[in-house]
Structure 1
Amino acid sequence: MTAKVSCLVENSVIVFPDQLKARIQDAGLATDNVLKIGDDEEDSLLWCPDSSGEFSVKSAFNEIRNQGNEARWCKLLWKPHIHPKTAAKAWKLIKNRVASEKRSQSIGVSLASACRLCMTGEDSVEHVCWHCPMAQRMWSWARRKFRHNREFWSLGQAICRPKEWSPLIQNLWSTTVFSGMVAIWQLRNSVVMGNERIRIEKCQSFIKNQIDIAARMSKANSYRNALEEDILLNWNLRTNHTSRVIKECRWLPPAANVIKANTDGASTDSNSGLGVVFRDCDCNIILTVCKNIGDMNSFQAEYQAIISALEVAVSRGWDKVWIESDSQAAITSFAHNRVPWQMKFRWLKVVKFFTMLQMSTTWREANFSADKASKVALSLTPHILYSYEERPTWLTVCENPDTSYYRFK
């Protein structure tokens, strides 16, 4: 191919030859919405790996690095209820960044390795924290406190918490696991470096202190059943009776001559859809649109819903529009003109049409009609925009400006 990009532009729309179109689609790029605002518009270079289209060292590093599966413990370790110093020490143990005889052997140092706590196993993080009889004695004590009967011999087994536990008890258990690793290793260090006597009570005291900190720092609630009351009593803790916060929200109608569009996106493992409900100043539903947009995540579906609502408004000649979505991130991106580069051309083409364009966010409790439309879109034929004049039969309930809606947190 020797043609230039300018040869592909016809009436401000880029028309791809079949051969080039196939290659672009194989690269995962869209070809149906690639356009120019005007023939005099300058071309720009886009960095595809980043949604903003701008190059950054971070996105370049993420593009070339070898990505592995994220460890489960990462999501549990760096939490506000775990003391940062304890979390840092636990991280060093998990990543084997501590001085041990086993590690010295791995770098070529010739020496005999023996656990100073039991004198039967090797001096390694794996043995000291999980297989040493002293460690197992400590973990048995912790399990009795939590009424947890399942034995474990590794971190992966230890962080598997019973699903019936409340968020508060789960936070306390993860704190116990990480602080227990730190406690037994500190006991090992005191024996090796300070020649102190082996006292399991030091580990228990350290864990109790960390549990007390976690209980005060955690904002999670307990289920307040007999089992959890017993667990909290074992640790001399009070039940965290945090009251649920009730927040009120309302659906507001647009001003005269303004069309309000409530948008929402929905996604499943292999499918996604968008829904938009247009209403006038008298709260009448004048148009509902749904579209199955294929395999996208919920965040992309929210973006697609907003841009599709704007395109439909342009096609109908509505130059005064109020867009409302329950996605704060999507609305903020459009309001600050930080639209993903895949939709930037569509955004720039439609935004100049409006004489008034207002964007706002709401909660899902006051956006359920658009949520219903997006759920309906999941069962439709992909990539076809379905329009329903006025109110569709499946939309049995819609937002009422005279009704208050509530969110419980």
Structure 2
Amino acid sequence: MIYAKFHTNSGKRIKYNKNSSVWPGIKFAETINKPFIGWIIGNGKKIDFWRDSWATCTPLREHIDLPNHLWKLCTAKVSDFINSDGWNVPSDIFLAFLAMGIDITSIPCNPNDEDIQIWKSDIHGEFSVKNAFESTRNRLDTAWWWKFIWLKCLYPGLSGFAWRLMNQILPTDDLIQRKGIQLASICTHCGCIAETVDHLFFECTKVKVLWSWATSTFNLAAVSKHERWKQILEKSQALSTYINDLWITMVLSVSRWLWNARNKLRFDERKLSIREIQNRVLREIDNNAKMSKHVVKSCMWKLLNISEIKLCCDGSSLGNPGPSGIGVVYRDWEGRVMGRFYKSVGITTNYLAEVNTIIDGVDKAIHRGWKNLWIVSDSSAAINAFTTHKIPWKFRNKWIQLLSSMQSIRFSATWREADYLADTMAK
């Protein structure tokens, strides 16, 4: 009703005044929220072909320059181009779509369902005031280091020191001098040059010995002269979660005891040897290791039911979000590999890559005539999305279409080690 009251027949806002207590606020929010509103296309009866954002991020009307009086005649619905089998687009309109860079056949539609309007920035398409605020507000980039210093495996004291270290608020000599305070400076450890953050934690001869000891303990590549906190903390990402936690604890503990040793020598005139620092670091790692998750569980590989095909699925994202890939291995009920499938899926998150793996894996299986499927993935979140029917809105229509072609399907969550091949292909 509000839309009809404040818009002309051609879909433009009226240019004259009408009294309303809510329209000024709606008008302000409309331009901000419009890019986040989209559609899951069903039969197309609710979607304005020209004025709603269903084919691209903007309405088709904004791609075409027509006089206003002609837009009054453009009243088509998306349903006018859908029949019981799917899209039914005239060839001239199909070519016009291609000229705009739109392949309409790649847009899923489900003629047996109604259209659903969705909020794009929510993974399930559900609108909430909280999500709308988070999507539209201006915010600074998140610091890269927060995921390293607030781990559950770290004691609050170590996390607090790491926060001061990463925010560059430790009172090193160079920081004090930048605040305008005249200060004679020299490195407390080596006594060779002035103290700076880089020299104290990366360049001093004493710290080089400690970093060499730390990396050799974990059998990692040595710290080069160009590496800083981000590169050092990420050295163990390819290792297990437990070892990664221990490495982060090692890096932060070495840094803290370097700082403590500097303060003890400067203010208490007590020098800590490299061996003493190493022992205290190891003691701190031992204390923090008790807080890290290191549960060992057994797993076993089971054969399938007769005539069933097992899909071992895995998705991977380098960055979350970042460049992503998917990998699927197909096995029959005798354990033989029947095929494999892998590809890049562009920039996305780990979760969406895992969901995409299952969708595309099932699609390929159906095309090969396999309709009794057992889906296995190391992502319990992705498996839960399918078992609870809460598929991300981007894949919902395609999944509904795939379900209609299957005879049976079941899901299981497992560990990554259960199928190393799928994990390797995804990366």
**2:78 is paired with a residue of what secondary structure?**
helix
Gapped regions of structure 1 (runs ≥ 5): 221-241, 379-409
Match of 1:112 among 161, 166, 183: 183
Gapped regions of structure 2 (runs ≥ 5): 1-60, 62-70, 317-322, 347-352
Aligned to 2:125: 53
Aligned residue type for 2:183: A
TM-fit CA distance, 1:361: 1.0
CA separation in 2, counterparts of 1:105 and 1:38? 71
Q: Give percent identity, aligned residues only.
A: 17
Q: In 2 relative to 1, CA 352–136 (structure 1 residues): closer, same or farther, beyond 3 Å?
A: closer
Aligned residue type for 1:359: R
- After superposition, give the CA deviation of every residue in 1:15-44 in whole Å (9 maximum; x if it has no partner): 46333355464xxx87424213337x2441
User: Within 5 Å, which residues of 2 pair with 1:311-322?
Assistant: none
The 8 Å contact of residues 267 and 301 in structure 1, kept in 2 or not, is answered as yes
User: Within 5 Å, which residues of 2 pair with 1:361-376?
Assistant: 361=412, 363=414
Q: In 2 relative to 1, CA 168–185 (structure 1 residues): closer, same or farther, beyond 3 Å?
A: same
- After superposition, give the CA deviation of every residue in 1:331-390 in whole Å (9 maximum; x if it has no partner): 321121221222211233455788x8652216589998x97xx98xx9xxxxxxxxxxxx
Q: In 2 relative to 1, CA 294–208 (structure 1 residues): closer, same or farther, beyond 3 Å?
A: closer
User: Within 5 Å, which residues of 2 pair with 1:379-390?
Assistant: none
Aligned to 1:199: 271
The 8 Å contact of residues 266 and 298 in structure 1, kept in 2 or not, is answered as yes
**1:98 is paired with a residue of what secondary structure?**
coil
CA separation in 1, counterparts of 2:209 and 2:415? 49
CA separation in 2, counterparts of 1:353 and 1:148? 49
The answer to which structure, 1 or 2, has the higher relative contact order (CA under 8 A, 6+ apart) is 1
CA separation in 2, counterparts of 1:51 and 1:103? 44
The 8 Å contact of residues 251 and 366 in structure 1, kept in 2 or not, is answered as no
Match of 2:384 among 328, 332, 348: 332
Aligned to 1:183: 257
Q: In 2 relative to 1, CA 247–43 (structure 1 residues): closer, same or farther, beyond 3 Å?
A: closer
Q: In 2 relative to 1, CA 326–309 (structure 1 residues): closer, same or farther, beyond 3 Å?
A: same
TM-fit CA distance, 1:304: 2.0
The 8 Å contact of residues 309 and 374 in structure 2, kept in 1 or not, is answered as yes
Match of 2:360 among 293, 304, 318: 304
TM-fit CA distance, 1:179: 0.9
RMSD: 5.5
Number of residues of Structure 1 aligned to a counterpart in Structure 2: 325
**TM-score normalised to the size of structure 2?**
0.54
CA separation in 2, counterparts of 1:129 and 1:51? 42
TM-fit CA distance, 1:102: 2.5
TM-fit CA distance, 1:105: 4.0
The 8 Å contact of residues 273 and 294 in structure 1, kept in 2 or not, is answered as no
**TM-score normalised to the size of structure 1?**
0.56
Q: In 2 relative to 1, CA 175–311 (structure 1 residues): closer, same or farther, beyond 3 Å?
A: same
Aligned to 2:66: none
User: Within 5 Å, which residues of 2 pair with 1:20-59?
Assistant: 20-21=97-98, 23=100, 25=102, 31-38=105-112, 41-47=114-120, 50-54=122-126, 56=131
Q: In 2 relative to 1, CA 78–246 (structure 1 residues): closer, same or farther, beyond 3 Å?
A: same
TM-fit CA distance, 1:301: 2.0
CA separation in 1, counterparts of 2:236 and 2:117? 53
- After superposition, give the CA deviation of every residue in 1:310-351 in whole Å (9 maximum; x if it has no partner): 7888xx9x8xx6643335443321121221222211233455
